[in-house]
Structure 1
């Protein structure tokens, strides 16, 4: 993946989730995001590391 900044719409498509899920992960699960003016921007490599660390996993499933 290139080193360019991705928008909420792009990162949602990249991860296969909704924009609402992305906003929720920013607020509740520390999704690596950077605020640029009014917009959230993402680096795919940072998000990949976050996913691989299990941060996107459902909390209920973690306890099983």
Structure 2
């Protein structure tokens, strides 16, 4: 019987977690972050990566266009009669 190991993907990841998520080596990810090629920020002296920013970056690099948001106009309110 095969046991499935499911790792949870956190919103903010360290180098190890983000490199596993992206499928690249930690050294490559560190270089990308240092060069500003990939969205990342430093917390103290350690690199951190937000999943939502990585997903958006991957979509941009792969040519995937995000869905266009649909503008919804608010309903017009009827004028209120003045109180006497």
| TM-score by shorter chain over 0.5 | yes
2:32 is the counterpart of 1:12: no
Match of 1:49 among 49, 53, 56: 56
Compare relative contact order (CA 8 Å, sep 6+) and give the higher one, 1 or 2. 1
RMSD over aligned Cα, in angstroms?
2.1
Name structure 1 gaps, 5 residues minimum. Answer: 56-64
Name structure 2 gaps, 5 residues minimum. Answer: 1-7, 63-84
Aligned length: 55
Q: Any idea what SS the aligned residue of 1:31 has?
A: coil
Match of 1:31 among 34, 38, 59: 38
The structure with the larger Rg is 2
User: What TM-score do the two structures reach when normalised by structure 1?
Assistant: 0.71
Structure 1 runs of 4+ aligned residues shifted over 4 Å read none
User: What TM-score do the two structures reach when normalised by structure 2?
Assistant: 0.56
Q: CA deviation at 1:26?
A: 1.4
Higher helix share: 1
